[in-house]
Amino acid sequence: MQTITFTCEIITPMFLAGADGLKPELRAPSIKGALRFWWRAMHGNLQIEELKRQETDIFGGGGENARRSRVSLSIKTLQKIISDNLPEKRIAMPSPTKENPDRTIRADLFRYLAYGAHERVYIDCGSRFDLTFRFDNQVSIDNAVLDPLKVLSFLGGLGAKSRNRYGCFRIVSCSDQSVDLSGNPIDICKEKFRGSPCSFTTFSANSKLFMTRNESRDWSSAFETVGAAYVKGRRLLENSHHYNKRAYIATPINQSHSWHLERHAKQYFIGITKGDNGLYSGWIMFLPYQHHQNGINNEYGAATSLLNQKLKTDLQEVL
């Protein structure tokens, strides 16, 4: 058996709880599930049966071919800071109507993007934890551990509202000095931008990556820039109280009961990263996938194309 430990730092509020759903707690199953999600997203080029075979071989699986995972994971919390005080930033959000196309409203951006979790306590920035992986000699550390962990720390996040870039972290160090933690995260994504979208979230030739034009001195400033670009772009798709386009991006909570299509996972991942220089950047990754319902892929494509065009006005498209 091989053992390797990564020390990580939380850089945006993390709404991750234990069994009661309330007490902030770092949990190995949550992290392993996120690693499995991003491993699958990175291997969309495989045929589905081969994808399932390789995934089960690494992470385990049930059914007739049930087997235990070759990779086990444990967590040691080094420093846990608990808070219930999100930053407040009210911004002017477009809310056009037919009578007043320039109408705006003022809303708290941080709570808007944390809706449903914003009243909970959370694990705050600066908290640190160790991730220790144990795996047998037949497992490739790059394929099963390092690559998905790098992508998770760049694009993912842990806990509630991770697609809105809460719960993100960075890898600070590794117990194995031979492991290379360097490398531009853009390059990690770029090599996966190939092939056609699948029926689940994967990298593909249709994926796009946008980032802030300037670095920020704190996470909240980077969050404000990239979050405002996303919210502004989505709200500009159509007039207030109309949801024919916006609902293809993310169904408004007050309209979810009447939306005529099944709810789907959002195709946009908002991200914050912290560089070795201590400065922060904001990202938006677009990872489209093919929907199984007949006749709606064109509608999704039209709505997301409009939003991507609007994102380019406030951010830079790097991939």
3-state secondary structure 258-315: CCCCCCCCCCEEEEEEECCCCCEEEEEEECCCCCCCCCCHHHHHHHHHHHHHHHHHHC
pLDDT score, position 78: 94
* Domain co-membership, 200 together with 274: yes
Tell which of 182, 213, 231 closes a domain: 182
* Domain co-membership, 78 together with 191: no
Q: Is residue 160 classed exposed, middle or buried when 0-12, 13-18 and 19+ CB atoms within 10 A define those classes?
A: buried
* Domain co-membership, 165 together with 303: no
Determine the average pLDDT of the residues in 181-204.
84
Angle between helices 28-41 and 147-155 (to 10 degrees): 100
pLDDT tens digits for range 36-95: 999 999 998 889 999 999 999 888 887 777 778 889 999 999 999 999 989 888 877 767
Q: How many domains is the chain partitioned into structurally?
A: 2
* Domain co-membership, 246 together with 282: yes
* Domain co-membership, 234 together with 272: yes
Q: What is the mean pLDDT of the chain?
A: 86
Q: Is residue 172 classed exposed, middle or buried when 0-12, 13-18 and 19+ CB atoms within 10 A define those classes?
A: middle
Tell which of 162, 182, 202 closes a domain: 182
* Domain co-membership, 207 together with 106: yes
CB 234 within 8 Å of CB 284: no
* Domain co-membership, 170 together with 193: no
* Domain co-membership, 110 together with 242: yes
Tell which of 165, 182, 199 closes a domain: 182
Q: Are strands 122-123 and 268-274 parallel, antiparallel or unpaired?
A: unpaired
Q: Which residue in the block uniquely carries the two structure tokens 């380019």?
A: 312
* Domain co-membership, 273 together with 155: no
Q: What percent of the chain has pLDDT over 70?
A: 92
Q: Which residue in the block uniquely carries the two structure tokens 């790059």?
A: 142
Identify which of 49, 292, 46, 77 has the alpha carbon closest to the alpha carbon of residue 169.
77
Residue 301 lies in domain: 86-119+185-319
- Euclidean distance between CA atoms 291 and 172, whole angstroms: 38
Edge-to-edge, what's the strand order for the sheet holding 71-79? 71-79, 128-135, 2-10, 169-174
* Domain co-membership, 174 together with 73: yes
* Domain co-membership, 167 together with 290: no
* Domain co-membership, 208 together with 293: yes
Tokens standing for 141?
A: 């550390």
pTM: 0.89
Determine the average pLDDT of the residues in 188-209.
89
Determine the average pLDDT of the residues in 288-297.
78
Domain of 20, CATH number, reads 3.30.70
Q: Which residue in the block uniquely carries the two structure tokens 């056609």?
A: 196
